[in-house]
């Protein structure tokens, strides 16, 4: 069928309209696609910009970087800019801004939960609990009272510190009673109040609403408990032994004269005149000396009279002391526990019994009976008594299979109603051949015994102790008491027989008893523990100096100085070159110390040995890990012995005196720099060849301002011709020569873009 021209035109128009419609749809689809891509790109860029605007959180309580303050700064970002995000997206965004250590600590804390299972609100709360300030409210409030203005701070900065500390103080929440309790606790600074202070702080933390009256009552209660505990702990003395009595004999001078014969010759010259007669017969007793104008001695015997008078008073005191007849100390306290215990297997159970050779039977307590598995108990008719004669109640007897020191046997032990009475008696010891033989050997030994000899009179002798002969007069056995006189020998030692030393050592605890001519053993009161605790410090031990290092920076000594104007200083000194390094630090913490030492190691390398004291910043686990990581041997000086770290201590003293001398001459940083420059460039007599620390450290002299006073022509060195020729060839450089007053053009970089400006060669 033929198609007319009009029909063809109509068909073409329809196709054209359809194509235009399809093109329009295609363009709309492309437009929508591009708009979605652009919007998603914008959303992605916006999300990325939000993430970058939040700084990474790294927990540092020493620098007051805690989670609450960090989140307070970026809280509006999560509440406003990220309001279109769901809870899970906010959690992911928050966790992305945590440091590596902080994130790991949080993940480990919430196990077995996953971070995506915790809501945003709970995540913030958990992070606040972990990474907020861990100190107590009392600690925060106490630090608020310690605020001081640093010289470097202006008043605006100081006011900001006060405002921040007062907000942490929670000044709006504290009541009058809480403030009174705070002042009360802060005043308990004595050492004897340490226990009460600790308990009261714990009580106030538990009950914040305590009043001052309640605190006072609680302190008094704790004091009473302390006294009651000490009273119960004190051992009770037997009756009649609270005091040590001494019996003195009082005799008339007539009896004394008759009881002893007067020696024919005096033992020494007269101290009044020097003649050989007794002082009581001296004609110069009432003579007035023309030299010292004193009565009682001849001219020329002034000092002798003074010395003899003093000597006579000492002799009279000793004679008076020698009239003590008997002194018995019947009670002693403070002995060390010397009890012996034995481990043995009973019914296949390991128990511990006290070895008691004075006990006829073996006793066990209720606690030991439970350890044995509560074996069956048979009734017993035996009755036991202790050393005082009191009856020890026996609950029953237990049949046991025992293994002790290679011996196996079956025997009974007796159960008591006490919880601490476990004795290995002779009935079980008899089954063990080793122990039984030792006891039989000890019991079969013969002990030599002599009749008790009591010296009646030990006369004074100028001979030595080994060669002195003593007359000992035997007393009648019917004599109830005896008197004796201990006179002075050359070395002022009191000698006694071994038969009476057991009483003499107790009755004369302050006297030294030496070896006599009867071969008695030495008895010294220094063996008493109570006397040792009250004795003076012993002689100093031999000095052990530090070994001399062989190279610089092999051993460094570290210490802290200050505070000076509110600033502490970390002082480091090299033991070989005496090279010092000083770092100003506001707070003495392990983190700050490690940071400064890390900087020091990056400059001069890692030393072999690091010597410090026992400060808390040096004994922490963080500092120990730091030393292990770098392979540094950390040596700490003994407590209360700063001489062991004398290298750092001496330099700290030098540094302190330098700061005091330069006070007011500039800022602390300027004073520190000037001091270090002078000290490092000054020859030191303690260094090898008495060179300066800088010469030993760097192998050359450091130039100072004093070198400018005497200028020297220095060789500037040879030019690098090879580099110059290479540059000239590459850039086609041309040599220029200028004359004086020649007009030139120079590039002026003050304009943008730079311009050429005319000038003249001077």
Average pLDDT of 129-146? 76
- Return mean pLDDT, the chain: 76
Distance CA 63, CA 592 (A): 10
Confidence bin at 330 (pLDDT 50/70/90): very low
Query: Number of helices and strands (H, E) in the chain?
Result: 24, 17
Report the range of poorest mean pLDDT among 149-158, 417-426, 521-530: 521-530
Distance CA 607, CA 601 (A): 8
Distance CA 133, CA 59 (A): 10
Q: Quote the CATH superfamily of domain 341-439.
A: Acid Proteases (2.40.70.10)
Nearest one of 126, 140, 119, 76 to 98, comparing CA atoms: 126
Q: Is pLDDT of 6 > 70?
A: yes
The Cα diameter of the chain in Å comes to 187
Please report where in the chains the tokens 């005497």 appear, as a residue: 710
Q: Where are the domains of the chain?
A: 12-49, 54-131, 175-227, 269-314, 341-439, 555-697
112 upstream amide cis, omega within 30 of 0? yes
Q: For residue 749, how many C-alpha atoms fall within 13 Å in the half-sphere facing its CB?
A: 0
Average pLDDT of 431-443? 82
Q: Is pLDDT of 315 > 60?
A: no
Distance CA 123, CA 285 (A): 103
The pLDDT value recorded for residue 332 is 41
Question: Measuring CA to CA, how many Å separate 359 from each of 84, 363, 422, 597?
Answer: 87, 9, 11, 66
Distance CA 393, CA 622 (A): 58
Q: Is pLDDT of 599 > 60?
A: yes
Average pLDDT of 471-496? 42
Tokens read off for 365: 């307590």
Q: In this predicted model, what pLDDT tens digit does every residue of 685-723 receive, in sequence order?
A: 888 888 999 999 888 888 888 877 777 766 667 788 889
The pLDDT value recorded for residue 448 is 58
Within 10 angstroms of residue 519's Cβ, the number of other Cβ atoms is 7
Determine how β-strand 755-760 pairs with β-strand 609-612.
unpaired
Which SS3 state, helix, strand or coil, does residue 636 take? strand
Q: In this predicted model, what pLDDT tens digit does every residue of 267-297 receive, in sequence order?
A: 778 877 877 788 777 888 778 887 787 887 8
> CB of 591 within 8 A of CB of 60?
yes
The pLDDT value recorded for residue 634 is 94
**Exposure pattern of 556-580 as b/e (b: 16+ CB <10 Å)?**
bbbbbbbebeebbbbbbbbbbbbbb
Confidence bin at 660 (pLDDT 50/70/90): confident
The pLDDT value recorded for residue 303 is 60
The pLDDT value recorded for residue 337 is 59
Tokens read off for 601: 């190691």
Q: Is pLDDT of 508 > 70?
A: no
Please report where in the chains the tokens 């009749």 appear, as a residue: 451
Tokens read off for 214: 């309640």
The pLDDT value recorded for residue 238 is 46
96: buried, middle or exposed (CB in 10 Å: 19+, 13-18, 0-12)? exposed
Q: Which residues contact 82 (CB under 8 A, 6 or more apart)?
A: 50, 89, 90, 93
Could you tell me which residue, 244 or 130, shows the higher pLDDT?
130
> CB of 573 within 8 A of CB of 651?
yes
- Tell me the torsion sign for CA atoms 18, 22, 23, 27: positive
> CB of 620 within 8 A of CB of 596?
no
Q: What is the DSSP string of 322-387?
A: TTEEEE-------PPP---EEEEEETTEEEEEEE-TT-SS-EE-HHHHHHTT----B-----EE-T
Confidence bin at 246 (pLDDT 50/70/90): very low
**How far from each other are the two terminal CA atoms of the chain, in whole angstroms?**
104
Angle between helices 212-233 and 176-186 (to 10 degrees): 40
- Which contiguous run of DSSP H or E holds residue 492? none
The pLDDT value recorded for residue 507 is 47
> CB of 401 within 8 A of CB of 388?
no
Within 10 angstroms of residue 108's Cβ, the number of other Cβ atoms is 8
φ and ψ at 423, to 5 degrees?
-125, 135
Q: In this predicted model, what pLDDT tens digit does every residue of 192-238 receive, in sequence order?
A: 788 888 888 888 877 878 888 888 888 888 888 877 777 776 654 44
Which SS3 state, helix, strand or coil, does residue 183 take? helix
Report the range of poorest mean pLDDT among 135-139, 213-217, 244-248: 244-248
Q: In this predicted model, what pLDDT tens digit does every residue of 49-67 receive, in sequence order?
A: 777 778 888 887 766 778 8
Check whether domain 555-697 has CATH 1.10.10.10, yes or no: no
The pLDDT value recorded for residue 134 is 66
Confidence bin at 241 (pLDDT 50/70/90): very low
The pLDDT value recorded for residue 329 is 34
Distance CA 558, CA 607 (A): 12
Q: Is pLDDT of 575 > 60?
A: yes
φ and ψ at 41, to 5 degrees?
-65, -40
> CB of 66 within 8 A of CB of 131?
yes
Most confident of 91-95, 302-306, 310-314: 91-95
Distance CA 670, CA 668 (A): 5
Which SS3 state, helix, strand or coil, does residue 572 take? strand
Distance CA 650, CA 668 (A): 21
> CB of 99 within 8 A of CB of 56?
yes
Q: What is the DSSP string of 498-551?
A: TTSHHHHHHH-TTS-B---TT-PPPB-GGG-HHHHHTSPP-PPPPP-PPPPPSS
Residue 556, beta-bridge partner list:
574, 610
**Chain centre to alpha carbon of residue 537:** 21
Which SS3 state, helix, strand or coil, does residue 632 take? coil
Q: What is the DSSP string of 34-71?
A: HHHHHHHHHHHHHHHHHHHHSPPB--BGGGTB-HHHHH
Distance CA 392, CA 380 (A): 13
Chain length of the chain: 762
Percent of the chain with pLDDT over 70: 76
Q: Which ranges in 372-513 belong to alpha helices (H)?
A: 426-429, 433-443, 501-507
Tokens read off for 163: 């405002």
Confidence bin at 528 (pLDDT 50/70/90): low
């Amino acid at each position: 069928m033929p198609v007319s021209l009009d029909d063809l035109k109509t068909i073409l128009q329809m196709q054209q309209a359809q194509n235009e419609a399809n093109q329009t749809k295609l363009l709309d689809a492309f437009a929508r696609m591009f708009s979605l891509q652009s919007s998603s790109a914008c959303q992605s860029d916006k999300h990325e910009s939000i993430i970058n605007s939040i700084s990474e959180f790294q927990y540092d309580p020493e620098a007051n970087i805690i989670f609450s303050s960090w989140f307070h700064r970026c809280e509006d970002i999560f509440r406003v800019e990220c309001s279109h995000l769901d809870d899970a997206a906010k959690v992911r965004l928050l966790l992305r801004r945590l440091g590596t250590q902080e994130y790991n600590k949080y993940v480990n804390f919430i196990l077995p939960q996953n971070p995506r299972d915790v809501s945003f609100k709970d995540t913030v709360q958990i992070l606040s609990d972990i990474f907020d300030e861990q100190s107590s409210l009392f600690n925060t409030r106490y630090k608020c009272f310690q605020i001081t203005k640093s010289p470097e701070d202006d008043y605006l900065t100081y006011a900001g510190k006060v405002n921040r500390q007062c907000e942490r103080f929670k000044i709006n929440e504290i009541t009058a009673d809480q403030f009174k309790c705070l002042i009360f606790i802060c005043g308990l600074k004595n050492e004897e109040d340490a226990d009460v202070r600790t308990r009261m702080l714990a009580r106030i933390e538990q009950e914040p609403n305590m009043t001052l009256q309640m605190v006072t009552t609680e302190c008094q209660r704790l004091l009473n408990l302390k006294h009651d505990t000490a009273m119960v702990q004190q051992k009770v003395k037997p009756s009649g032994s609270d005091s040590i009595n001494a019996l003195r004999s009082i005799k008339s001078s007539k009896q004394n004269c008759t009881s002893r014969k007067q020696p024919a010759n005096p033992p020494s010259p007269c101290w009044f005149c020097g003649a050989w007669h007794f002082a009581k017969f001296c004609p110069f007793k009432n003579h007035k000396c023309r030299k010292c104008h004193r009565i009682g001695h001849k001219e020329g015997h002034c000092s002798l009279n003074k010395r003899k008078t003093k000597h006579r008073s000492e002799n009279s005191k000793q004679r008076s002391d020698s009239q003590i007849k008997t002194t018995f100390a019947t009670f002693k306290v403070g002995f060390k526990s010397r009890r012996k215990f034995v481990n043995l297997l009973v019914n296949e159970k390991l128990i511990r019994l006290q070895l008691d050779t004075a006990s006829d039977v073996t006793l066990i307590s209720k606690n030991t009976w439970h350890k044995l598995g509560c074996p069956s108990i048979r009734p017993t008719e035996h009755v036991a008594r202790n050393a005082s004669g009191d009856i020890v109640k026996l609950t029953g007897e237990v049949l046991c299979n025992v293994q002790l020191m290679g011996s196996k046997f079956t025997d009974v032990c007796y159960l008591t109603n006490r919880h601490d009475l476990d004795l290995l008696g002779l009935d079980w010891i008899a089954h063990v051949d080793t122990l039984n033989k030792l006891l039989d050997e000890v019991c079969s030994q013969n002990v030599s015994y002599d009749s008790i000899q009591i010296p009646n009179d030990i006369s004074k002798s100028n001979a030595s102790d080994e060669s002195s002969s003593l007359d000992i007069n035997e007393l009648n056995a019917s004599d109830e008491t005896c008197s004796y006189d201990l006179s002075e020998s050359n070395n002022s030692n009191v000698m006694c027989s071994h038969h009476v030393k057991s009483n003499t050592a107790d009755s004369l605890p302050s006297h030294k008893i030496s070896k006599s001519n009867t071969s008695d053993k030495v008895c010294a009161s220094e063996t008493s523990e109570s006397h040792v605790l009250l004795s003076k410090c012993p002689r100093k031990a031999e000095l052990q100096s530090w070994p001399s290092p062989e190279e610089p920076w092999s051993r460094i000594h570290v210490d802290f100085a200050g505070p000076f104007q509110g600033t502490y200083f970390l002082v480091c000194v090299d033991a070989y070159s005496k090279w010092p390094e000083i770092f100003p630090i506001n707070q003495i913490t392990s983190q700050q110390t490690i940071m400064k030492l890390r900087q020091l190691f990056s400059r001069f390398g890692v030393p072999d040995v690091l010597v410090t004291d026992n400060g808390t910043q040096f004994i922490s686990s963080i500092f120990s890990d730091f030393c292990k990581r770098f392979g540094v041997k950390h040596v700490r000086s003994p407590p209360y012995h700063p001489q062991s770290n004398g290298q750092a201590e001496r330099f700290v003293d030098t540094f302190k005196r330098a700061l005091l001398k330069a006070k007011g001459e500039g800022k602390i940083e300027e004073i520190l720099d000037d001091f270090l420059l002078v000290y490092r460039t000054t020859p030191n007599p303690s260094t090898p060849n008495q060179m300066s620390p800088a010469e030993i450290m760097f192998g050359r002299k450091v130039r100072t301002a004093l070198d400018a006073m005497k200028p020297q022509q220095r060789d500037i060195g040879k030019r690098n011709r090879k580099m110059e020729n290479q540059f000239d060839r590459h850039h086609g450089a041309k040599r220029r020569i200028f004359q004086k007053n020649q007009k030139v053009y120079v590039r002026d970089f003050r304009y943008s873009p730079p311009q050429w400006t005319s000038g003249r060669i001077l």
